[in-house]
């Protein structure tokens, strides 16, 4: 029996899983949890073997993934537009939205040749993995997200960026994205 292969793009829908693969969605959820434990264990081992270098390794891997994800978005030099596009693309793995204090007029702040925006990450596969495996935040897996976000922004806006931690927590993390208009 030959199985017809279709390329699936966009949002994943469990009903698109071909019946030939067997099992139901609960089987996939259990497999996801096993994979999360595996990735957490691998991250912990990488940190033990490589020390602080683990963060740089994982950051670069995330950045490469982010550049690939960023190719799905329209190029722009408007940071808010870029964030809205990327929240749709990256939102399946790292749900985030722009955040501002109530007394701040807009989401972005201009400082010389830099533009700054606060990002609130809520439903994050990395944080869920860390919680499931009992690992602390701010470790190598968090650097995967930093690299992913920076790579995607660099791809969409053709500029350099950096992501800094303001706050980590069990339900959300607040980060500051800074982009520099000095070019790549």
pLDDT digits (tens, 9 = 90+) for 40-61: 777 777 777 887 788 888 899 9
pTM over 0.85: no
Higher local confidence (pLDDT), 25 or 135: 135
The confidence score (pLDDT) of residue 183 equals: 46
**Is the sign of the CA dihedral 35, 44, 123, 56 positive or negative?**
negative
The CA–CA distances, whole Å, from 157 to 27, 100, 105, 163 equal 39, 21, 23, 15
How far does Cα 44 stand from its chain's mean position? Answer: 19
Alpha-carbon distance 42 to 84, whole Å?
Answer: 32
Alpha-carbon distance 98 to 84, whole Å?
Answer: 8
**Could you give the 3-state DSSP secondary structure of residue 117?**
strand
Burial class (CB in 10 A: 0-12, 13-18, 19+), 95: middle
Higher local confidence (pLDDT), 120 or 171: 120
Residue 1 pLDDT more than 50? no
């Amino acid at each position: 029996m030959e199985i017809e292969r279709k390329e699936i793009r966009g949002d994943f829908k469990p009903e698109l899983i071909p019946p030939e693969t067997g099992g139901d969605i609960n089987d996939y959820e259990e497999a996801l949890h096993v994979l999360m434990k595996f990735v957490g264990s691998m991250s912990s081992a990488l940190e033990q073997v490589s020390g602080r270098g683990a963060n740089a390794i994982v950051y670069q891997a995330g950045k490469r993934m982010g550049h690939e994800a960023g190719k799905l978005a329209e190029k722009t030099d408007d940071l808010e537009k870029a964030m809205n596009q990327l929240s749709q693309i990256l939102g399946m793995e790292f749900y985030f939205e722009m955040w501002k204090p109530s007394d701040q007029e807009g989401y972005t702040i201009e400082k010389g040749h830099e533009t700054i925006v606060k990002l609130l990450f809520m439903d994050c596969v990395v944080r869920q993995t860390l919680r499931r495996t009992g690992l602390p935040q701010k470790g190598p897996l968090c650097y995967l997200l930093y690299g992913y976000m920076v790579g995607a922004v660099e791809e969409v806006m053709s500029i350099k960026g950096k992501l800094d931690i303001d706050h980590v927590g069990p339900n959300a993390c607040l980060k500051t994205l800074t982009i520099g208009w000095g070019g790549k």
